[in-house]
Structure 1
Amino acid sequence: MSNTLIIIGGIFHLGFAVFHLFFWRLFNWKKDLASLTYINRAVMQILNLCLTFVFFVAAYISIFHSRELVATSLGNVILVSISAFWFLRLIEQIIFFGLKKRLSITLTILFFAGFVIYLFPLLFIV
């Protein structure tokens, strides 16, 4: 069960990686980021690309190394870290976007799912 859940988490991360690759188009970044300073525009795009890379790495580790994530102490640390990432993202969503719009609520639920997907396997480690 834990391995299956972690593999689902890998697919979850693939979805977020692809979603982030479309930020330029979805959010019209060519136009909208033009109003930022050169440095802020660059930082915004670099952070997005690095986060996308992290999502791809999390997907790879989850899909191809789910057993090690459950069976080793380093794997457990990675599970805790990924779960904490999604918990922090959930909190940031509420702080910065609130819970008044349907999209924000949907994203908050997705971030909660990421938190639980990676926390749940840790509850059954003896």
Structure 2
Amino acid sequence: MDIHLNIIGSLLIILALVHSIFPKYFNWRTELKSLSLMNRQMMMVHTFFIALTVLLMGLLCLTSPIEIIETNLGKKLSLGLGIFWVIRLFMQLFVYSSKLWKGKTFETIVHIIFLILWTYISTIFLFIYFK
């Protein structure tokens, strides 16, 4: 099971780093211009803290897989992380509009990759808790 946490840790670190390209990739300089200063800055700050949280989750998985798997605290942490990622999977399925990816090859591939990723991460964390 620790190999799965190492894989998840690596993937989460990569995901956290990918957040750094969001402003340029999504053209936030132009797209967010119409927002108030507060909303614009909140978008940037929240993106930073999401990336930081995902990075820290990844580092935790890489540095402490045995503790996560074998201790009561680790199992409780796994439950919380499992719930977090199940909710993220739910959002991917039911909150994001299919208009964002349907009929677009790249976006559909990314959508499917994230469905697989959120399912994998959720499953591993919940399996650790319930085993």
> What is the TM-score normalised by the length of structure 1?
0.87
Question: d(CA) in 2 for partners of 1:98 and 1:90?
Answer: 14
Match of 2:82 in 1: 83
Structure 1: runs of 5+ lacking an equivalent: none
Q: Which residue of 2 aligns with 1:120?
A: 127
- Deviation of 1:68 (Å): 0.5
Show the counterpart of 1:22. 21
Unaligned runs of 5+ in 2: 103-107
Q: How many residues align?
A: 123
Contact 2:82 2:125 in 1 (8 A): yes
Match in the other structure for 2:64: 65
CA shift at 1:62, angstroms? 0.3
Structure 2 counterpart SS, 1:34: coil
**What residue is the counterpart of 2:43 in the other structure?**
44
Shift of 1:28: 1.0
Query: Shift of the alpha carbon at 1:122?
Result: 2.8
RMSD across aligned positions (CA): 1.6
Q: Which runs of 4+ in 1 moved over 3 A?
A: none
- TM-score normalised to structure 2 length: 0.84
